[in-house]
Amino acid sequence: MQHRKPTIFITLRHGFTLIELTIVIVLLSVLALGVSSYIGLGASMYSDATEREQVLNQSRFVAERLQRELRNAAPNSIRTADAALLRCIEFAPIVSSGIYLQAPVAPQAGTELRLAVLNWQSSYLGAVPGLPLSIYPRQPGDIYGNTGSTIPFSGTETDDMDGNSATRTVQLASSHSFVLGSPERRFYLLSASPVSYCFNAVDGSIRRYSNYSYSAAQPLPPLGNAELMASDVQQVRFAINNAVLTRNSVVNLLLQFGQSQASDMFFNYEVHIPNVP
């Protein structure tokens, strides 16, 4: 007779009490809150850093471009003007320059100019209206006003028969007498339009203006083409230190960028103007 071993069935019944579930829910909530706060802080830091980098990139662009253009400005052509919510710096870009071998200087008057210039282009005389030609500008009025130091460059080019392509003889369209001669006999051929950079405190922008006329009074803002160069600008300062015997003229630029006045993103430049009359 065979004996079978008894089979024992054990049923385990285990559950969670309400207190345990409540504790788990509270712990998961605290953990989720901490994780979400950490992720949110990281996302906010990344967003702020990205926005700050964008502002720095555009501010660096406008600062570098303004510096380069100022270094190519005609001597004593840089001037500034302020209005209630507008601040502008204006200058005359140089198209070409060289040495004059002959020019009518007071008290003499005449139409003949003999110029030594390497990058001569026949279009200089064909420009309408004539590009400004300046000899010994000592102040902004000598370029923007009617003092006799700057004239429209128009006339005809004649062959001086010297076989030297670097020298040009030009017969001006009308007789003229320049106020003073340059000590180094320099002349400057200027752009058909001055250029202005203007800061607008209303929208915090910097715009570049071009394609407008020379005027004795600095326009605010100029009535020309306006290009947006930078936004999120909090403060701009332009200061001009005129040339003295020991140095050329210097322009100080202070540009503050950011979303608020408390921003610490500054560009402070000292631009030396190499061109002299």
Task: Kindly state whether residues 61 and 111 are assigned to the same domain.
Answer: no
* Same domain flag for 148 and 232: no
- The verdict on 186 and 200 lying in the same domain is no
| Mean pLDDT over the full length of the chain | 84
32 belongs to a structural domain? no
Strands 167-176 and 94-102: unpaired
What is the rounded CA–CA span in Å between residue 248 and residue 241? Answer: 9
Q: What is the pLDDT of residue 50?
A: 63
Residue pair 78/90 in contact (Cβ under 8 Å)? The answer is yes
**Tally of domains in the chain:** 2
Whole domain around residue 205: which residue ranges? 52-85+196-272
Residue 13 lies in a domain: no
Provide the whole-model pTM: 0.78
pLDDT band at 12 (very low <50, low <70, confident <90, very high): low
Residue 46 in any domain: the answer is: no
Of 165, 190, 215, the domain-final residue:
190
pLDDT band of residue 175 (cuts 50, 70, 90) is very high
- The neighbouring-strand residues paired with 169 are 114, 158
Taking the C-alpha atoms of residue 97 and residue 204, their distance in angstroms, rounded to an integer, is 37
Q: Is the pLDDT of residue 152 over 80?
A: yes
pLDDT at 2 over 60: no
Residue range 82-93, pLDDT digits in tens: 988 899 999 999
Here the tokens at position 251 are 């322009």
Same domain, 174 and 241: no
Say if CB 75 and CB 276 are below 8 A apart. yes
Confidence of residue 16 (pLDDT cuts 50, 70, 90): low
Task: Write the pLDDT tens digit of every residue in 96-141.
Answer: 999 999 999 999 999 999 999 878 887 888 766 689 999 999 999 9
pLDDT at 211 over 90: yes
- State yes or no: pLDDT of 262 exceeds 90: no
* 6 within domain boundaries: no
At 153, the pLDDT band (50, 70, 90 cuts) reads very high
Return the pLDDT at 101.
93
Residue 107 forms part of a structural domain: yes
SS (H, E, C) the chain: CCCCCCCCCCCCCCCCCHHHHHHHHHHHHHHHHHHHHHHHHHHHHHHHHHHHHHHHHHHHHHHHHHHHHHHCECCCCCEEEECCCEEEEEECEEEEEEEEEECCECCCCEEEEEEECCCCCCHHHHCCCCEEEECCCCCCHHHHCCCCCEEEECEEEECCCCCCCCEEEEEEEEEECECCCCCCCEEEEECCCCEEEEEECCCCEEEEEECCCCCCCCCCCCCCEEEEEECCEEEEEEEEECCECCECCEEEEEEEECCCCCCCEEEEEEEECCCCC
Q: What is the mean pLDDT of residues 146-172?
A: 83
Quick one: residue 76, left, alpha or beta (phi over 0 = left, psi -120 to 50 = alpha)? left
pLDDT tens readout for residues 25-81: 888 888 877 777 767 666 666 556 666 566 666 678 888 899 999 999 999 999 999
- 29 within domain boundaries: no
Q: Are residues 200 and 81 in the same domain?
A: yes
**Model confidence band, residue 23 (pLDDT cutoffs 50, 70, 90):** confident
Pair 101, 220 in one domain: no
pLDDT of res. 53: 66
Highest mean pLDDT among 9-18, 31-40, 211-220: 211-220
The whole-number pLDDT of residue 20 equals: 74
